[in-house]
A = this chain, B = another copy of it.
Amino acid sequence: MKKCFEDFEVGFIYEFETSRLSVKEITDFAALYDPQRFHVDEVEAAKTHFGGLVASGFQTQLLCFVPFCKDVLLNSWSIGSPGMENMRWKRPLYPGEAMQGQIKLVSARPSSKRRDRGYLEFSLEARVNGDLTYTQEWVSIVLTCEGANEVSDS
C-alpha cells in the first residue's frame, strides 16, 4: 500500500548513505551538466583551492535525492514538488567519499484549496565523516487518502 498524505507523521526521519563517486562518474556527470575545470579535469582541479577534483553540486544533490525518491516517494502518492530552498554546499565532495544523510519531515499541511492533496516539508542534512557537506529543504505534494482513492478508482 502506498502512503497517502495522512500516513506521514511530522518528525518522521529517513536515514541514508550515498554511493561513492569514482573520478569517472564525477567527470562524466560534469561534462554533461557542469563542465567547470574543478569538476571535469583532475590536473586543472589540483591547481584550484579545492586541491583536487570535486563533484558538481548538482551531482551531490542528486546523490542525496535518489535514495529518498526510491525508498519514500515511490512508496507514496507523491505528485511532484512546488519548490526547494536553502540548498547549501558546506564542503566539497571528493571521489570515493560517501555521505551519511538524514531527512526529516518538518511539517505537514493539507491544501487549503483542494481536498485531494497536502504539502510535506522535508529538511535534509548530509555529512562526510561527520562534517556537514550538503543541506536542502523542500516540499513534496502528496495525495490525501481521498485523493488517492479517486485516482485508483478512475
Which A positions have Cβ atoms within 8 angstroms of B?
Answer: 32-36, 38, 47-50, 57-58, 61-62, 65-66, 69-70, 73-74, 78-89, 92, 151, 154
Contacts and interface: CB of A to CB of B under 8 A. Distances in A.
Contacts of A49: 79
B65 A33 contact: yes
A33 B82 contact: no
Q: How many copies does the complex hold?
A: 2
A109 to B, nearest CB: 17
Contacts of A36: 69, 73-74, 78, 80
Q: Among the interface residues A36, A65, A66, which one has the most CB atoms of the partner chain B within 10 A?
A: A36
A64 to B, nearest CB: 11
Contacts of A151: 47-48
A86 B65 CA distance: 18
B38 A69 contact: no
B74 A83 contact: no
A89 B81 contact: yes
Contacts of A79: 38, 48-49
